[in-house]
Amino acid sequence: MLKNSIQIILYSIILFSFAFPQEEDMDDSGSEMFNDISFFFDQEAGNTNHLSISGEWIFNLNGDLGPFADTEFMMSANSNYSELNKDVYAQDFGAHIQFDWMANGIFSPFMFGDISSDQTIGLKNRTNFGIGVKQKLGRIFSISAAVLNEDETTTAWNDSLSIEFDSTESFQRLSIRPKIKIKFNDGATVFDYRTYWKPKLSDFDDYLWENELKVTIETFYESLSIDFLYTHKFIKRYKDNPILKPEDLWTIVGVREDTGQLLYDKSSRFYKDTDSALSIGLSFYW
């Protein structure tokens, strides 16, 4: 089944290349390398004790790497930690590595690996490795398709036994990613929108849907830019089958006077299927 899926993806994108002919956009300036670092920090003390720290690092190497012409090699890592009155409400991490051959061409094969965790959705660990192809359709639009093998560990709560447990699964996903990237003012402003649809190959009704919109505006200093980032994530199985969070993440709303039993907000006991975030920050690259 996995082999057939890969063949379908490859054939579909090859057909796209004939349906939308265009000239190749190549960069003949030679190899180049750059780092991009973003950082955010916020702390409050007093009546409200709040701490939030986040950061991201991106490394890019573009050019000819040995026998591989017009190659892009990229590594990135990001982390986020936030707490309110000593209660942690956000803690996530992600790392990505990708090798993209003929990156500036019309048709480009690539391979990649990811590792991530996110407490807010009960994701203890997600590791995947995949291969795929990207097809450019004009100067601002592209579409990519990949097949990946994924190992996922999630944390949930068994209410009847009052215990926390981890559930680990291994499966294959299909990932389809349309992308629009527009540059204004000679590249000083960049609009980048991409959406990912990631169903399991064994059950297309069990999927992840992720959206990312990033607007980068270059400042008076060439190596400093302002970034606006909006993300939206949806987990289909959390909508179909509500899953309990660990008990220490439930929101307490009161105490029963007769028994002293804690009362919880019912909606806070379950993982929500949708998350969104908006951030504004500065990026430095060299």
SS (H, E, C) 7-70: HHHHHHHHHHHHHCCCCCCCCCCCCEEEEEEEEEEEEECCCCCEEEEEEEEEEEEEEEECCEEE
Residue 137 lies in a domain: yes
Residue 272 belongs to a domain? yes
At 160, the pLDDT band (50, 70, 90 cuts) reads: low
**What pLDDT, on the 0 to 100 scale, is given for residue 200?**
95
For 13, phi then psi, to 5°, come to -75, -30
| pLDDT (tens digit per residue) in 3-51 | 444 444 444 444 444 444 433 344 455 678 888 888 788 889 888 889 9
Averaged over 127-139, what is the pLDDT? 93
- pTM equals 0.75
- Those residues whose C-beta lies under 8 Å from the C-beta of residue 275, and which sit 6 or more positions away, are 120, 121, 231, 232, 233
Q: What is the C-alpha to C-alpha distance for residues 59 and 55, in angstroms, rounded to an integer?
A: 14
Q: How confident is the model at residue 258 (pLDDT cuts 50, 70, 90)?
A: confident
Q: Report yes or no on 121 lying in a domain.
A: yes
The residue written with tokens 């307490």 in the block is 252
Mean pLDDT of 134-150: 93
Which structure tokens are listed for 237? 């199985």
Is residue 53 a part of any domain in this protein?
no
Domain tally, the chain: 1
Per the prediction, the chain carries an average pLDDT of 83
Q: What is the CATH number of the domain that holds 245?
A: 2.40.160
pLDDT at 142: 94
Percent of the chain beyond pLDDT 70? Answer: 86
Name the more confident of 85 and 261.
85
Domain membership flag for residue 26: no
The reply to whether 39 falls in a domain is no
Which pLDDT belongs to residue 30?
63
Domain of residue 244 covers 2-19+83-285
Residue 51 lies in a domain: no
Of 253 and 129, the one with more pLDDT: 129
Would you say residue 97 lies in a domain? Answer: yes
